[in-house]
Every structure is written in C-alpha cells, then in structure tokens.
Amino acid sequence: MGKRIAKEVSIAIAEAVKQCRVDVIAAYPITPQTHIVEHLSELVANGELDAEYITVESEHSAISACLGSVATGARTFTSTSSQGLALMHEILFIAPALRLPVVMVVANRALSAPISIWNDHGDIMAERDIGWIQTFAENGQEAVDLVYHAFRVAEDRRVMFPAIVNIDGFTLSHMIEPIELPDQEQVDRYLPPFRPRYKLDPRKPLTMGPVGIPEIYTEAKKAQDEAFKNAYRVILKAWDEFEEVFGRRYRPVETYRMEDAEVALLIMGSLAETAMTAVDRMREAGKKVGLVRLRLWRPFPLRDFVKAVKGLKVLAVIDRALSPGATGGPVGTEVRSALYQVPGRPRVVNFIAGLGGRDVTVEDFEEMADRAYVYMKKKPKEPYEMIGVKE
C-alpha cells in the first residue's frame, strides 16, 4: 500500500499527475511552479508517461490549449503561478462555463509590483470568481492527495468543472519532505477513465461557446451556478471514497483544538501547520484558542463553516492577500459576509500577513490571537490590520 518517498513536493505532484494517466499537459514555466512541469516534461520525454506535452509561448496559450484538449475528451493538466495565472485570466472564466474539467496546480506567489517571486495568495485571490473548484493544501501529502481528488471530482459527470489545487510557492513547492505515494492500482481504482458528457468529435459535431444573447445569458449563468453548488456533494463524496481507497480523510473545513475554544484563528494553506504549533503553545498556557482551516475555498462550504465556528467569541481571519481599499482581505470579507445572518455570530477580526514571502512565525500567530482577545471586549478601530509591518 503506497510507498513513503523523500521528494520535493513539486516532483511528487508531477508523479501524482502521471499516476492520474493524463493525456495532455500544456504549460509554461514560471517560478515557483517550474519543477512540476519540468519533471512532467521529463517523464513524457523519457517515455515514462504516455502523454502529449504541448510547449506553448505563454500561459494564455497554455490554458487555451488545455481547454481545447479537454474539450476533445482528453484528461488535461496544467500548472502556473502569479503573473502566469494573471495572464490566463480571461480564459479561466471560459472553462467552467463550457464545463471543461481541466486540473491546474497553482504554486501561489505574490503579484507584481514590486516584483516578488515569493509566496502569498494574491495571485489566486484575483481569480476568486472564475468559477473553478479551488482547494488549498497544507503540506506535501495533501498537495498530492488533492491532485487525485481534483481529477476525480472535476471529471465526474455530475460535476464537469475545472479544479485548482493551491500549494504555497516555495514553502511547499520547494520543500523536501516525506510523502506517501500510493500504488498505481489504488489511483486507478479511485480515478476512472475520463468519459465526458459531450466532447468535440467530428463524427458528432456540436458547438461549444456560442454567443449568449441577453435573453439567455442570465439563464446560462444561473444554470452554471446551480451546477457548481451541486458539485459540493460530489466533492464530499469523493473525499469519503478517497478515505476508503487511501486511508486519509479530508473535509472542506477542518478544525484543530476547537473544543470549548473562545478565540480561533482561520487560515488557508501551509501556514496552518505553524498555526497549529502556536495553538498548542497557547493551549498549554491555558488560553482557549483553536484553529479553523478552510481546505475548500470554492464552492464556499457555507454550512460546514458556520457549524465549525459555532460558539466562538472571536474569529481571527488571516488573509495572505491584500484587497486595497476594501473592507478586509478576500477571506475576511467572505467570512464576515457568511456570518452576517448567523445569530450569535463571533466577532470577525481580519489580519493581513505573510505577503510576498514574509515569514509568519509561531509568535506572530500568538500575537494575532492575543489581539483577538483584546477585541473580544473592544471593537477594532479598523476593519483589517496588517501584521509585521515595520513602522
């Protein structure tokens, strides 16, 4: 049952993509995603992976090629970061509207300017509304596991939506750590061959992407939104089945030491591991602090989220992206809005931290929790605060 390997997370992701038996990869290299697609191109060139690797001249072309490829019924993968993701922007909306289930790993990196190759969530938060399924990985194991899950869910005939697996650039992509890589047989059992509902086939022509006149555009969008919300059940079920096959369990909202917690931190991505260490320390010091981790960002797991934060007095949301001039970071505003209608909701305070590769330490998390305690009694002056800014 599987094999414990010591590999860079990017390499392990490429190996997982290979195990998913992809037919087509179209990608353009960009730091810190490079090692993923570099290794995939090696696997293809060495004949270890029977797939078409399409070299393109930009990310815009990469995602365009992916859409064409998946439309013909080929299992398709791509990966990018930061400016590359931004360059894909206009095409990203088309994939879910045309129900084209391409899978993409985004090695999250800050957007320019100033130029930064380092990690934050600015790139993916700018793509919040594209209509893709979006998950966040906390460690290398999750990154790999979420790739299998992404293909499984995206290509499910009840779903047929593209999916993004977010991994923190460098902090995860360049980390060597133990990862359990499952057997090919397990992956085959979990991930059936791709059988789309419709595909581009000259023997049975159809049109994908016709104009939507005002009389139909709203209805088309409503249909897309309903189908996307319905994907939630399949996402959960695919995680249940994942547990049966691989023995590891995932949920859209995961909690840590939330029993009797009055203050909780909320974060997405790899920093949640550091936050756990902080929570342990604060618990030892007698503070009732817990941690909420959003694994599924889109579709937003509203009900499970509300259940997870029940009974809290203060919820400290840590955003790793700035939304200039807004009422909070992207996650902060989302969470506030999600809780607005909930009676007895906790006070939501919002911190922006870890921008452009700035480390967020155990002490930083402790400081945020301490501030949350202060805000239990006193309303914060500002809707959000930046952490670790030098004055």
Partner 1 sequence: MPKGKDTALISWKEVPFGCYILEPGNSVQFKTGDWRSFRPVLDKEKCVKCGQCYIMCPDMTYTQDEEGYYIVDLTYCKGCGICASVCPKGAITMVVEEV
Partner 2 sequence: MIEVRLHGRGGQGAVTSAELIAVAAINQGKYAQAFPSFGPERRGAPVQAFVRVSEHPIRTREKIYFPDVVLVLDPSLPSIVKVTSGLKEDGWVILNSHKSEKELREMLGWQGKMAVVDATKIALEELGLPITNTTMLGAFLAATGLVDQGYLEEALEERFGRLAEKNKKALARAIKEIKIYQ
Alpha-carbon Rg for the chain, nearest whole angstrom, is 21
Using rule CB under 8 A, residue 58 touches partner 2: no
By C-beta, is 100 or 275 nearer to partner 2?
Answer: 275
Using rule CB under 8 A, residue 113 touches partner 1: no
206 binds, among partner 2, partner 1, none (CB under 5 to 8 A by kind): partner 1
State the virtual CA torsion across 57, 96, 238, 304 in degrees, nearest 10. Answer: 120
Helices (H), 247-301: 271-284
Strand, helix or coil at 317? strand
Q: x/- binding map, residues 184-203, to partner 1, per CB under 8 A? A: -------------xx-----
Using rule CB under 8 A, residue 166 touches partner 2: no
At residue 135's C-alpha, the angle toward residues 335 and 339, to 5°, is 15
Which of 117, 126, 208, 302: binder of partner 1 (CB under 8 A)? 208
Smallest distance, Å, CB 210 to partner 1?
5
With a CB cutoff of 8 Å and minimum separation 6, the contacts of 384 are: 319, 327, 328, 329, 332, 350, 351, 352
Using rule CB under 8 A, residue 206 touches partner 1: yes
Give 193's DSSP letter: -
332 binds, among partner 1, partner 2, none (CB under 5 to 8 A by kind): none
Which two three-digit tokens encode residue 279? 């929570």
Which of 226, 244, 359, 382: binder of partner 2 (CB under 8 A)? 359
Q: Are 321 and 337 in contact (CB under 8 A)?
A: no
Using rule CB under 8 A, residue 112 touches partner 2: no
| Phi–psi pair at 197, nearest 5 degrees | -70, -40
Binding site for partner 1 (CB under 8 A): 97-100, 160, 197-198, 204-210, 212-213, 215-216, 218-220, 222-223, 226
Binding site for partner 2 (CB under 8 A): 4-6, 8, 32, 117-119, 168, 170-171, 174-178, 270-271, 273-274, 276-277, 357, 359-362
